[in-house]
Structure 1
Amino acid sequence: MDNPTIRDSVGYQLASASKHHRNYFTEALDELGLQGGQEFVLVQLAETNGCSQSDLAEALSVKPPTITKLVRKLEESGLVERHQDPDDARVQQVFLTQAGEETIEPIEECWKQGEEVMLDGFTTEERLLLRRMLIQVQENIDMPFEKPH
């Protein structure tokens, strides 16, 4: 490419793919009565039920106010409940309700179907390579940023 534009960059394509991915899952999750991001909280709680909101924020790499908002909406929907930590009154533990537990399988099925749509035409090796490369991109971005001299 003689004069590459921003649209030719890997970052632009990654951002564009991410936007399409988000739009696809927004529609799919809407059918489950969920808003984007809520599925991550529910799946995390399926693995670590009863964790604190700060632990949720850390596990999902989001800021505490974001978790507070997500948990509040999930609580209003009857999918989670909060209880005061018996050892520390300042800490709220978050638990899946029965309805929340019943939502995990449909979320996983939604993601499985989305994965098939998104990676249609990819070989197993290409899927694994793409996954590895995306993990590397995340790790690179999470590294401390140094300004060029």
Structure 2
Amino acid sequence: MERLPEDLPECLVFLLGKAYQKAHGDFKQRLRPYGLTNMQHLVLEGLWYREGMTAAELGKCLVLDKATLSGVLERLAEAGWIEKKPDPSDRRVQQLYPSDKANAMKDQLVGERKTANEEMMSRFTPEERMLLKRLLRDLM
């Protein structure tokens, strides 16, 4: 059996990956009762932020590639979470809207995200929270 490099636990890529796995897994559990994935939830929050965006606008806003977003949008539409409507100024383009179902669950779903964030950050002081967020944004 091969041994891991001794510096692996200090490797930034390793640490960020493990932090991502923990946060992603915890939030995934919270969303399971709603039948949503983390990515689907992100897309819904994007549409609650600005209804009527096109897929291209939403992808830019959420920093998601077209291929990833396309599949997520199809699954959300099939499950009744979003609606696609033709753009009145260009019928070739579709605007995206949260459905009545999504809007009825908005407060609950946003609350799940806020609770997950609070639980994750609860071990840090307010100053550490601000610093962590700033450092993570700087890595993007």
Which blocks of at least 5 consecutive residues in structure 2 are unaligned?
Answer: none
Q: Which residue of 1 aligns with 2:31?
A: 29
> How many angstroms does 1:4 deviate by?
5.0
SS at match of 2:91: strand
The one-letter code matched in structure 1 to 2:34 is: L
RMSD of the alignment, in Å? 1.4
Identity over aligned pairs, percent = 27
User: TM-score of the superposition, structure 2-length normalised?
Assistant: 0.90
Q: Which residue of 2 aligns with 1:105?
A: 107
The one-letter code matched in structure 1 to 2:43 is: V
The one-letter code matched in structure 2 to 1:107 is: L
Q: Which residue of 2 aligns with 1:85?
A: 87
| Greater per-residue helix proportion | 2
SS at match of 1:49: coil
Q: Does 1:70 align with 2:72?
A: yes
- Select the residue among 121, 133, 136 that pairs with 1:134: 136
The one-character-per-residue Cα deviations of 1:16-50 (angstroms, maximum 9, x if unpaired) are 10011111111111122211201111111111101
Query: Where does structure 1 differ by over 4 angstroms across 4 or more consecutive aligned residues?
Result: none
- Select the residue among 2, 15, 18 that pairs with 1:13: 15
The one-letter code matched in structure 1 to 2:25 is: N
Q: Which residue of 2 aligns with 1:143?
A: none
Q: Which residue of 2 aligns with 1:40?
A: 42
Separation of aligned partners in 2, 1:125 and 1:71 = 37
Separation of aligned partners in 1, 2:115 and 2:98 = 24
- Between stretches 124-133 and 97-106, larger displacement belongs to 97-106
